[in-house]
Amino acid sequence: MADERILIDVPALPIPLGAFLKLTGLFETGGAAKIFIQQGRVAVNGVVETHRRHSLSDGDTVVFAEKAFIVRNSGG
């Protein structure tokens, strides 16, 4: 269970999971996010996701590193 919930504003949806993880600021590169995803250490809406191109939509919850990141459409 995630200890912390953080809203991440996304200018355009859908957004690939790997790109979203970079927006969180925890990864400097897409390659680092890719490895984390492929290791099965990321869950989307409660289901482990191993594909970095998985499309995220407004309201999706991405959990990793004991934090829950909520996708929010900023309408940009």
**Model pLDDT for residues 1-53, shown as the tens digit of each residue:** 567 799 999 999 999 999 999 999 988 888 899 999 999 999 999 999 999 99
pLDDT of residue 2: 63
Number of domains into which the chain is organized:
1
pLDDT of residue 1: 56
Question: Is the Cβ–Cβ distance between 64 and 48 less than 8 Å?
Answer: no
DSSP 3-45: SEEEEEEESSSSEEHHHHHHHTTS-SSHHHHHHHHHTT--EET
Phi, psi for residue 72 in degrees, rounded to 5: -130, 125
pLDDT of residue 33: 92
What CA–CA distance (Å, rounded) separates 41 from 63?
8
Q: What is the CATH number of the domain that holds 66?
A: 3.10.290.10
What pTM does this model have?
Answer: 0.91
Domain with 10, as residue range(s), is 4-73
How many residues are listed for the chain in this entry? Answer: 76
pLDDT of residue 75: 75
pLDDT of residue 29: 87
